[in-house]
């Protein structure tokens, strides 16, 4: 029952939260925050719609690679934060290569995408990744029968 609840609620919520965080990490370096100080009444609406669009883009880009990574880590019980961080960097780099090919964008865009991959991986690990595979039943080694105290143990004196 725990496994069903984990796959129905915890993992999808972790994916959505990770997408929102990665979308924010990609959007924040390029936001012009002068609208807040200037009294722009539509700044927060504009920022919210930008975050929604960026989150949808991250979710659409990361869905299949994340699903494969999630299935592997859940089935094998890999919980390492370093593994998740490496997957985040690889996912960010893979997204850059798949979109831009050999003509990579400016360094600030590259940095934002890699940081977004790291943010995605960290949030997913915090919510769901650190307990990956715990839903599986573990095989226990047979334990020796407890001693009843009727056996005698001989001790050999040392010379």
Considering 1-15, 33-47, 108-122, 127-141, the range whose residues carry the highest mean pLDDT is: 108-122
Residues 6+ apart with CB under 8 A from 77: 132, 133, 134, 136
What local confidence, expressed as pLDDT, does residue 31 receive?
83
Domain boundaries, given as residue ranges, for the chain: 2-131
Checking if the pLDDT of 45 tops 90, the result is no
Say which range, 19-28, 34-43, 80-89, 138-147, has the weakest mean pLDDT: 138-147
pLDDT band at 139 (very low <50, low <70, confident <90, very high): low
Cα(49)–Cα(159) distance, rounded to whole angstroms? 85
**Average of pLDDT values for 114-133?**
87
pLDDT of residue 24: 94
Residues 6+ apart with CB under 8 A from 29: 108, 111, 112
pLDDT tens across 26-43, in order?
998 888 777 676 777 788
């Amino acid at each position: 029952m725990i496994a069903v609840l984990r796959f129905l609620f915890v993992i999808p919520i972790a994916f959505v939260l990770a997408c929102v965080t990665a979308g924010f990490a990609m959007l924040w370096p390029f936001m012009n925050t002068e609208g807040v100080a200037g009294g722009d009444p539509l700044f927060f609406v504009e920022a919210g719609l930008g975050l929604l669009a960026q989150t949808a883009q991250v979710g659409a880009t990361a869905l299949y690679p994340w699903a494969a990574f999630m299935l592997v880590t859940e089935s094998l019980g890999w919980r390492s934060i370093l593994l998740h961080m490496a997957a985040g960097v690889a996912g960010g780099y893979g997204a850059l290569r798949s979109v831009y090919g050999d003509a990579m964008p400016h360094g600030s865009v590259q940095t934002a995408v890699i940081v977004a991959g790291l943010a995605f991986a960290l949030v997913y690990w915090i919510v769901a990744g650190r307990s990956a595979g715990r839903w599986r039943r573990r095989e226990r080694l047979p334990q020796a029968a407890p001693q009843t105290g009727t056996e005698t143990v001989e001790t050999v004196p040392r010379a």
